[in-house]
Structure 1
Amino acid sequence: MSEPVYVDKAKVMAQLRSRQLHARADWVDRELPVLIDTYKNAALLQTLGIDLDAMAPGDVAASAS
């Protein structure tokens, strides 16, 4: 099985806030962990309009450890 991939919640919130989606950013802050598993939350990230491919390589981590 491949190693999980995580994205920093702060980066997701920053993308949402840059698009003036403050309520969604606040929800992400309340409901998701500091490191978001991109596989388990793929549909949610897509719904929020988060493009992981467009993020800088340092924003997406291959391991949480």
Structure 2
Amino acid sequence: MRIAKHRIVAALRERDQQSRADWVERELPDPVDTDKNAGLLATLRLDPADLADLPSP
């Protein structure tokens, strides 16, 4: 599955994790491949299924 990078950034900013959100903006491609980046998403405690359901900003 692929998720728009802005969804990941928004989820991190909602949790007040600004530095992590900034890093994601700089380092990850858009869209983000959840299979390829599963470990990173787990480290950030982000569930791809939850991100897929977020409304677009």
Structure 2 residue ranges without an equivalent (≥5): none
State TM-score, norm by structure 1: 0.76
> Quick one: which of 34, 40, 43 aligns to 1:44?
40
Amino acid at match of 1:9: K
Residues 12 and 57 of structure 1, relative CA distance in 2, 3 Å threshold: closer
Over the matched positions of the two proteins, sequence identity in percent amounts to 44
Q: Pick the structure with greater CA Rg.
A: 1
- Which runs of 4 or more aligned residues in structure 1 lie more than 6 Å from their structure 2 counterparts after TM superposition? none
Q: How many residues align?
A: 55
Amino acid at match of 2:6: A
SS at match of 2:19: helix
Q: Which structure is higher in strand share?
A: 1
**Bigger relative contact order, structure 1 or 2 (CA pairs below 8 A, ≥6 apart):** 1
Distance 1:57 1:27 in 2: 20
| 2:7 is the counterpart of 1:14 | no
